[in-house]
Amino acid sequence: MVDAIVILIVLVIVGAIALYLYRAKKRGEVCIGCPYGRQCTGKHTGGCSGSAGDRQA
């Protein structure tokens, strides 16, 4: 019985994460979890280190 409860809790956590990622993508965030996720163009390969305007050319 304890195993079933642990499995159920893990499935709920994984489901919540999947729902969060789905909603973030629908909102247009490119870098999910980044504070600049909506401003990021997603074209730079260095990860989300700031907004696109922060980078020097």
The boundaries of the domain holding residue 19 are 2-54
Looking at the structure of the chain, the number of domains it has is: 1
What local confidence, expressed as pLDDT, does residue 5 receive?
96
What local confidence, expressed as pLDDT, does residue 57 receive?
41
Do residues 40 and 30 lie in contact, with contact meaning Cβ atoms separated by under 8 Å? yes
pLDDT digits (tens, 9 = 90+) for 9-53: 999 999 999 999 999 888 877 777 777 666 666 565 555 555 545
Three-class DSSP category at 46: coil
What local confidence, expressed as pLDDT, does residue 56 receive?
45
pLDDT at 4 over 90: yes
Q: And the tokens for 49?
A: 């280190």
